[in-house]
Amino acid sequence: MSNAMRPLVRTALLVFLLTTLISDASAATCPTDGSGYDYSETVSGDTRTITYTACPNHAWKAINPNQAKYSGTKSIVIPAYPKIQTEGVAGVSSTAKRTMDLTAKGGVVGIFFNAAGLYSPYGGPKYGQVTGFSNAATFAEGNTFDSCGGHSSQGDDTYHFHSAPTCLLKQLGQAANTHSPQIGWASDGFPLYGPYGKDGTAMKTCTITGGSFGTDICTNEDGGYYGELSGVDSYKFRYYIQGPVCSDSCANPINDLPGADYHPHSPTGFYGCCPSGVSCSLSVTDCTGTPANGYVAGFTPAAKAKLDTFCDACYSSGQGGSSVTTGSGCSAKSEGFALATCPADGTGVNPDSPSITSAAAPLTGTAVISAALAVFAAMM
């Protein structure tokens, strides 16, 4: 390197170091035992307000360089009475009816009951707009999903899921041959479910199954299902986090993820709109004209309750061993669990699962700073 370039490079490195230090100081790291979790809902009129910390209620591990950090309590507003722009199955049957295209949208697009964010399959500009499984986040970054199925992005409040949140499903009672429990909310006000639909069917798009949308048990191209489901909910539409996950909960990274047959694993588009009088968060498109109700007659929305810390997560596999504290509500580290939906022969459910047998070691902020300082010193 020329002598003329050295001052410029030294300045750039100093800026980087200061930025990293300031970033580390601006937010706290989520406790590794789930004790930083908080979540509450209130329903008032047409509005559902969700308040959360973005810290999960279970052990977590940074397999990529990004820690689960939080900047304090946040609130978002979604419709309590969700609307669809056009009445009937035709209003949600094709991507042309989307109110939000998520194929190139990063960041939070919904919230899980464990206070983690719902992210679309978009993994960022490195992989580009999602066109299929081969450039979706599960395929590209699955080797950084921790034992509960989550990971973090750069910045604060970013612990999130692109595929099924296994610890949350276990906590909420996912069982074989049954409809998945509700696990959160999409930003347009419709519910999120795990990978199983009516009669315990593993949900896939109708394109994959060859079924007819609105008639058969399959989803539109974005993971949405239209139809009334008595005994499940009182909505006419909902989203599924598609793809069963059969995993040893002590595996880091998670040792099984859904493959191409279940793409998209999280929604690639939303179909609800923001009703008049509701100040929706997360860039939900305003309704126009006279939108249709996304719920059945006589529907009354109710607030969901905060969960307990999930003490059955495999704490010994978490960040730094995830020592359990009194504040977490857990008395000891768990030996982990297996979802009830795992096949008895142990073969897993996803033969085309991405290969995630190895992952890069976590690169902490301290390691980044040390590496940069070494380079800086070499250039003096």
Cα–Cα distance measured from residue 41 to residue 303, given in angstroms and rounded to the nearest whole number:
5
So what's the pLDDT on residue 349?
Answer: 64
So what's the pLDDT on residue 4?
Answer: 54
Give pLDDT tens digits for 304-314: 999 999 999 98
What Å distances lie between residue 91 and 87, 221, 262, 311, 331, CA to CA?
Answer: 6, 13, 23, 42, 50
For residue 196, what is the DSSP state? Answer: B
| Bridge partner list, 366 | none
**Residue 6: pLDDT band by 50, 70, 90 thresholds?**
low
Say how many residues make up the chain. Answer: 380
Give pLDDT tens digits for 14-51: 444 334 444 444 579 999 999 999 999 999 999 999 99
Supply the mean pLDDT for the chain.
87
Q: What is the CA radius of gyration of the chain?
A: 21
Half-sphere exposure of 255 (CA within 13 A, CB side): 13
So what's the pLDDT on residue 116?
Answer: 98
Cα–Cα distance measured from residue 308 to residue 34, given in angstroms and rounded to the nearest whole number:
9
Cα–Cα distance measured from residue 179 to residue 175, given in angstroms and rounded to the nearest whole number:
8
Per-residue pLDDT at 11 exceeds 60: no
Question: Which pTM does this prediction carry?
Answer: 0.87
292 membership: H or E segment, kind and range: strand 292-293
So what's the pLDDT on residue 368?
Answer: 40
User: What angle do the packed helices 6-26 and 365-378 form, to 10 degrees?
Assistant: 160
Give pLDDT tens digits for 281-299: 999 999 999 999 999 999 9
DSSP-assigned letters across all residues of 220-285: -TTSEEES--TTT-SBSEEEE--S-----TT-SS-S----GGG--SS-SEE-EEB-TT---STTPP
